[in-house]
A and B are shown apart, each in its own frame.
Chain A
Amino acid sequence: MSQPIIISASPHVHSAKTSKKVMYDVVIALIPAFLVSLYVFGISALILTAVAVASCLLFEYLIQKYLLKSEITIGDGSALITGILLAFNLPAGLPIWMILVGSLVAIGIGKMSFGGLGFNIFNPALVGRVFLLVSFPVQMTMWPTAVENNTSIADAVTGATPLGLIKEGLMFGDTMTNISANLPSTMEMFLGISGGSIGEMSALALLLGGIYLLARKVITWHIPVTIIVTMAVMTGIFWVIDPESYASPLIHILSGGAILGAFYMATDMVTSPMTRKGMLIFAVGIAVITVVIRLFGAYPEGVSFAILIINAFVPLINTYFKPRRFGSKIKSKIV
């Protein structure tokens, strides 16, 4: 026999699932949305994504090699996802140095300062995005229009996202009927021709990827479905009471990164609860805070803030919403 017999404790078999496969499944799921962003914003979406991904990987490498002097794990796919998700949450045409700042904050502060993969409390991409949003509010809300020709750079000209238009309109005392005239149609929002960050364009593309993640069992329905249903119910109540002052649930769900957040950001394994029960609480929390910010806060969107706020509660949720221990209820049911 060439190799000696080895001894180890049971189990002696393992499912083929690895962290790497999980990460790359997420990357695959993001491809449709990426293609839509290329279609809508052309080369500037490519530049944005490439810079964000490359810089996230580079910063993780540099921090691991020179600061932490630890093992280099940039191949595990997590920094790649952070890069893509960060890019997806930024407007096309953002200056490159700002993207670099966002990546540094996402990886350096959002992830590595906590100890790297698995130890961070907040979603790294969102930490980067929110840092940029509060530091450079003007550039971060300058939404370019769709390009005519895919090879040209997007022009940073137009105004606002659908939710931005609504918020502005309502602030000036306009009614929803009047505002709606300037909004893209529901179908356009669904397919992906409206203003916003590059990754939140097409609800359809994001849902496709979401279905892939569900089918591959990378995520479960608990977080995304609960977020969307809760948002729909809450915004629906306001809309039914006063349709002239509140946007319809459909607009809320199809725009402002709700689907991107619900399927890809809130479901981040590291920063979401461990149990199904905990996931439901977590998702309801995100939806409630998002709707409160959108309807009563200064920002038209709010998914990013909501996720980051609830991320902070995840350890608490994990402590209080434990799985029910087998045999802890001594109620025997005789069949």
Chain B
Amino acid sequence: MLKTFPKGGIHPPENKITSSKGIKRMTVPKMVTVPIAQHIGIPAEIVVDKKDKVEIGQVIAKSGGFVSSNIHSPVAGTVTKIDQIIDLSGYKKQCIVIRTDAKNEANFEEKEYSLITEIQLDPKEIVQRISDYGVVGLGGATFPSHVKLNVKEGVKLDYLIINGVECEPYLTADHRLMLEKTAEIIVGIKILMKALHIEKAVIGIENNKKDAIKQFKELTKNESGIQVAALQVKYPQGGEKQLVRAILGREVPKNGLPLDVGVIVNNVGTIFAVYEAVQHNKPLMERVVTVTGKKMENPSNFWVKIGTPIKDLIAEVGGLPDGTRKLVNGGPMMGKAIKNTDVPVTKGTSGILVISEEEASRGKAENCIRCGECVTVCPMGLEPHLLMNLSEKGMYEKASSEDIMTCIECGSCSYVCPSHRPLLDYIRYGKNIVKKLETSKN
């Protein structure tokens, strides 16, 4: 019996249509738009001016505080604009626009890095380099990695868990990366084990990626500290609390972090970025993005430079098919719908999903028939129907005492609701207000 988390979860159609498509390098865009807030925390501080010439990999915005991250130029070129531009969030954010220098060969050469397995840096230097090269969590949360690795003294850690679950339907970026960069990821794991003084690491991969499981098992045969855990396919296993529960049987306490049970979780993409930063001095300025959709002509996975406009990606796979109704940044369960295709890819963009008319339309919300499906599938043991009602009626204190803040917004409740009730919409709304009430109290 494969491991999984015990409570809740759903099995949406996987639709991993791009899982056999190797990662292709995306054409270098003529123009990149680089937001200075691509991570959770304080936006970076811009250190270039309009008309400045920048080199590839040059720091263009410096970490703006403790929880912040450096931003590097993904291309060599000229800064043409520093302005408020709409980004993936749908809001205007400060961005640096750089025109790619078409004559600069550095922009187009495809450097082949040879595998470096020996880790020369000491733990402190490793964390410093991760910080210098702007590595953030690539699983979606984009939390600056060096902050995560800066574990307070006295916190005992015994496991590093590598999240290769990719439980979102459609997305295959992590899957492809695991297949194509297996050895590099294993070195990356060792780097983090060294930095954190952890002896044991487990790579969690869902069983719909048997090839990746096999490859990792083979390459870690002689690594006593690194294990591969094949997991049952169940959404949202990529949620870190669910993953820690699935692999180690440890339950992260309510409102707590994996650190509280001696575990640190990192996404495979992040591990690869760590490897490149530490072993090759390469800043995080590109990532793997799955561009997919059922009606897409040529869906695939790409290495994409940060700042590349979404429309370039869409053009690369053959343009928007007829009847497109929705564009999603990320997967269908937790991704964010976007409207403007000029917005750039950022460090947190794992996929661009194109959804057609038939799939996009939401059913009309009907009365709750109290079937309890939402309660059954909630991986956090919440009662979504109740939380929705409380949010709708403005009973925020009660919602708070019913643990609304522990909702991970996985969307399983809305997915299963036979009455098409907008459960998660209301829960999000309630969470926002509860958060405001809590901050105003303090």
A residues with CB within 8 A of B: 1-3, 5-15, 17-19, 21-22, 73, 76, 78, 116-119, 269-276, 322-335
Contacts and interface: CB of A to CB of B under 8 A. Distances in A.
A10 B241 contact: no
Interface stretch (B63-71, B94-102, B189-197, B361-369): B361-369
A191 B380 CA distance: 45
B332 A11 contact: yes
B368 A118 contact: yes
Interface of B: 7, 10, 12-13, 90, 169, 241, 245, 248-256, 261-262, 320, 322-328, 330, 332-339, 353, 355, 357, 359-360, 362-363, 366-373, 375-376, 378-383, 385, 403, 406, 409, 411, 414-420, 422, 424-425, 428
Contact of B414 (A14, A117, A325): A14
Q: Is the interface of A mostly helix, strand, loop or mixed?
A: loop
Contact of A18 (B262, B324, B409, B418): B418
29 contacts: A3-B323, A6-B326, A7-B90, A8-B326, A9-B422, A10-B328, A10-B409, A12-B328, A12-B332, A12-B333, A12-B337, A12-B355, A13-B13, A13-B169, A13-B332, A14-B417, A17-B373, A17-B416, A22-B418, A73-B367, A269-B369, A272-B370, A322-B383, A326-B254, A326-B381, A327-B252, A328-B254, A332-B251, A335-B248
Contact of B406 (A18, A116, A271, A327): A327
A152 to B, nearest CB: 40
Contacts of A335: 248-250
Contacts of A322: 383
A325 B336 contact: no
B326 A269 contact: no
Contacts of A78: 369
A274 B418 contact: no
A271 B372 CA distance: 11
A6 B424 CA distance: 18
Contacts of A272: 370
A3 B338 CA distance: 15
Contacts of A275: 372, 375
A6 B338 CA distance: 8
Chain A CB count within 10 A is highest, among B323, B338, B368, B385, for: B368
Chain A CB count within 10 A is highest, among B335, B336, B366, B380, for: B366
B256 A327 contact: yes
A323 B333 contact: no
Given A118-B367, A274-B375, A326-B406, 11 more contacts: A1-B320, A2-B323, A7-B90, A11-B424, A12-B333, A18-B420, A19-B369, A274-B372, A323-B381, A333-B250, A334-B248
